């Protein structure tokens, strides 16, 4: 009789301890899901536009990974199994996946076999600290037609000239005083700088390819950490510019924005396509680089184009001296009548 009572007491103690363990475990899971849930709300409501929430928003894909790990933990650990916890974690992961999935699915647009291609590149030179010879090597190796550079002062222009960039890209629209410049293998026309509400002017120019004029805008916006309001106004100014641009337009550079930022999505909605997302390359971090303990975690550098072009390929390249990876893209000119798009 005594043994039976003692055993019952031990069993009750084990159940009580198990209950406390489950509560603490579920509480820990709930805490881990706070960031994914909060950023999901921000993503759905657009609260990052012009607010400090723009900074944590770049981590949205990373918090999706947290959600997946918590879901797997709840599923695998018997002590944590709870119908409500499982349903909540699954719903959160599904919502994240629905928002992220499109950028990992290639559009599947096919271009004509004889379509003319332009090879373009963008690199933030980190105040001219980028290795000029490495930039020239990238241009030569990747057979670049048009190069956009940002954060390049007069000293950087001179370094690129000494490294031989002029021999490869002799046509230039240089505005080191305004932060960005354009280099081209083809003659540049209708060139200059914008006069919109941006922290500094954006350099633009046109090239004629196959009888069509393709307009390039070298982009560098203010950064959200410095002033989210100023950054948001920069992005709004670019959106206004994109709305007035024709189909043969390319915006390329350091947008200081990811595809999860509301101002970036507004810019894309103005008629532009992100080449990485178009080709299913939705995970291509470009910043920061050059840190031994921190790999690139977010994509701030993009090549966006209008409906008159289609992405053929896109890649990222490290350039010594800068904290951004360069982005190289091949863009094909589509038929103006929208027909014969098969390869």
Task: State the pLDDT at residue 2.
Answer: 57
- Note whether residue 338 is domain-resident: no
Domain holding 128: CATH number? Answer: 3.60.10.10
pLDDT tens across 11-52, in order? 544 454 444 545 655 677 778 899 999 999 999 999 999 999
Averaged confidence pLDDT in the chain: 90
**Do residues 70 and 128 share a domain?**
no
CA distance 187 to 275: 24
Average pLDDT for 226-249: 97
pLDDT at residue 232 tops 70: yes
**Do residues 88 and 138 share a domain?**
no
**Do residues 241 and 179 share a domain?**
yes
Task: State the pLDDT at residue 87.
Answer: 86
- This prediction's pTM: 0.90
Instruction: Report helix, strand and coil shares of the chain as percent, to nearest 5.
Output: 40, 20, 35
Average pLDDT for 133-142: 98
CA distance 185 to 204: 15
C-beta separation of 87 from 26 below 8 A: no
**Would you give the end-to-end CA distance of the chain in angstroms?**
85
- Note whether residue 342 is domain-resident: no
C-beta separation of 122 from 321 below 8 A: no
From 103, 128, 160, give the residue that closes a domain. Answer: 103
From 103, 135, 152, give the residue that closes a domain. Answer: 103
- Note whether residue 341 is domain-resident: no
Query: Which residue would you say has higher pLDDT here, 76 or 166?
Result: 166
- Note whether residue 343 is domain-resident: no
Query: Which residue would you say has higher pLDDT here, 74 or 196?
Result: 196
Task: State the pLDDT at residue 26.
Answer: 65
Bridge partners (DSSP) of residue 193 are 203
Give the residue numbers spanning the domain of 37.
2-103
Task: State the pLDDT at residue 11.
Answer: 52
pLDDT at residue 324 tops 80: yes
Number of structural domains found in the chain? 2
**Do residues 23 and 142 share a domain?**
no
CA dihedral 48, 314, 97, 31 (to 10 degrees): -50
Task: State the pLDDT at residue 291.
Answer: 77
């Amino acid at each position: 009789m005594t043994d039976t009572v003692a055993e019952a007491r031990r069993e009750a103690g084990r159940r009580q301890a198990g209950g406390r363990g489950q509560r603490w475990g579920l509480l820990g899971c709930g805490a881990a899901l706070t960031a994914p849930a909060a950023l999901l709300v921000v993503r759905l409501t657009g609260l990052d536009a012009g607010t400090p929430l723009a900074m944590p928003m770049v981590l949205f894909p990373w918090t999706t990974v947290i959600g997946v790990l918590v879901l797997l933990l709840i599923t695998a650990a018997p002590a944590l199994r709870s119908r409500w916890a499982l349903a909540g974690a699954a719903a959160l992961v599904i919502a994240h996946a629905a928002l992220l999935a499109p950028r990992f699915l290639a559009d599947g647009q096919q271009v004509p076999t004889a379509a003319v291609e332009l090879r373009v590149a963008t690199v933030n030179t980190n105040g001219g600290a980028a290795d000029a010879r490495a930039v020239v090597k990238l241009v030569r190796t990747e057979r670049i037609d048009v190069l956009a550079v940002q954060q390049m002062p007069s000293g950087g222009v001179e370094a690129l000239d000494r490294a031989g960039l002029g021999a490869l890209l002799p046509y230039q629209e240089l505005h080191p005083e305004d932060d960005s410049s354009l280099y081209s293998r083809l003659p540049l026309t209708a060139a200059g700088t914008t006069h919109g509400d941006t922290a500094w002017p954006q350099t633009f120019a046109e090239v004629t390819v196959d009888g069509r004029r393709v307009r390039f805008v070298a982009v560098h916006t203010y950064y959200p950490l410095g002033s989210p309001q100023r950054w948001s106004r920069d992005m709004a100014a670019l959106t206004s510019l994109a709305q007035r641009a024709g189909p043969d337009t390319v915006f390329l550079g350091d947008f200081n924005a990811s595809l999860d930022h509301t101002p970036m999505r507004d810019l894309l909605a103005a008629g532009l396509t992100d080449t990485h997302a178009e080709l299913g390359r939705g995970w291509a971090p470009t910043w920061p680089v050059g840190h031994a303990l921190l790999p690139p975690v977010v994509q701030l550098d993009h090549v966006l184009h209008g409906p008159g072009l289609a992405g053929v390929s896109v890649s990222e390249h490290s350039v010594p001296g800068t904290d951004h990876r360069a982005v190289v893209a091949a863009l094909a000119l589509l038929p103006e009548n929208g027909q014969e798009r098969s390869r």
